[in-house]
Amino acid sequence: MSLPTYSGIITVLTTPFDANNVIDYDVLGRHIDWLIENGVTSILQGGSTGEYYAMTMEERREALAFVAKHVAGRAQLIAGTNAMRPDDTLELNDYVKDLGYEAVMLAAPPYAAPSAEELAAHFRRIAAATDLGIILYNMPSRTAVDMGPDFLDGVRGIDNIHAIKESSGSMSRHYEHVVNYPHLQRVCGMDDQALDIFLWGAKSWIAGASNFLPAEHVALWKAAVEKRDILLGLKIMQGMMPLIYLLENGGKYIQYVKYGTELAGFDVGPMRAPMGGLTDAEKTHFEKLYDDVKALDLAALVA
């Protein structure tokens, strides 16, 4: 399998649950169709936005299989295969390859907090066991491990470790990647930094808010990446920023994504434990920001 490139909007799917807390595949299928119709180029199943940490391995495999079958070649497929046990990640990687996924996204193993040397050895083992593309996911606020230079030097030269989603919040880290790790495809991983990262040459964005604002995300990508019209991109980003800033800084990212997807017309149901829902006040505030974005008709700016 040739290694993939990443371009456009990559939606990391939220997971709809019905009243019995079971995955609602009817809603999931309709949601995927709508995302693709609105220009999303890649579908990422199994990320933290999709609450993979609250799902059994059987549920994860079932959802990965459904998404692959439903997408049916209409979009690039990427799988989130993080697991507490590294061997479960290896198993999922084999499983998704057979389903047609082109790549996997992997953070540091949760809770373990390995050293840079230990983490590099972990990823070398994973990379040796698959020929899928590997997108590194650096989010030290969740993993307590930073994929810094010592780690990146430890996996340099491994062909299928070829991209990084940088979610530390540091723009300096992006500049470091531009200068010292140009072999890595850079994928936007902080929604409120999307325009800045596109300016520095990134061509893709793994975006949770594209679950409910796909056309607006695509508009920003077209302006900043396809047209290289930074002023137009700035206008679109300014329109989206109040909502996106809340997502990244409001402490309830996944809950806001689920509520936004509900506002967009898809009943994705409640959060699974241990996460709770939004308060009425939080919903009211978010809905106002959502309505403000929709009123701007940002997608029309690049039509």
Task: Spell out the SS3 assignment of 57-84.
Answer: HHHHHHHHHHHHHHHCCCCEEEEECCCC
Residue among 6, 52, 137, 256 flagged as catalytic: 137
CB 36 within 8 A of CB 70: no
- What is the tally of structural domains in the chain? 1
- Model confidence over 113-163: pLDDT tens digits? 999 999 999 999 999 999 999 999 999 998 999 999 999 999 999 999 999
Domain contains 89: yes
Tell the burial category of 250 from Cβ atoms under 10 Å away from its Cβ (0-12, 13-18, 19+). middle
- Model confidence over 177-186: pLDDT tens digits? 999 999 999 9
Domain contains 252: yes
Domain contains 1: no
Residue among 165, 222, 252, 258 flagged as catalytic: 165
Domain contains 3: no
Domain contains 229: yes
Query: What CATH number is given to the structural domain containing 270?
Result: 3.20.20.70
Q: Which amino acid is present at 173?
A: R
Structural domain for 276, as ranges: 8-302
The per-residue DSSP string of 184-212 comes to SEEEE--GGGHHHHHHTT--EEEESGGGT
Beta strand segments in the chain, E: 8-12, 42-45, 76-80, 103-106, 133-138, 161-166, 185-188, 204-207
* Residue 165 annotated to the active site: yes
Question: What is the mean pLDDT of each successive set of 10 residues along the chain, which is 303 residues long?
Answer: 93 97 98 98 98 98 98 98 96 98 96 96 98 97 95 98 96 96 97 97 98 98 97 98 97 97 98 96 98 98 92
* Residue 256 annotated to the active site: no
What is each CA distance from 144 to 94, 192, 251, 261, 266, in whole angstroms?
27, 22, 17, 29, 34
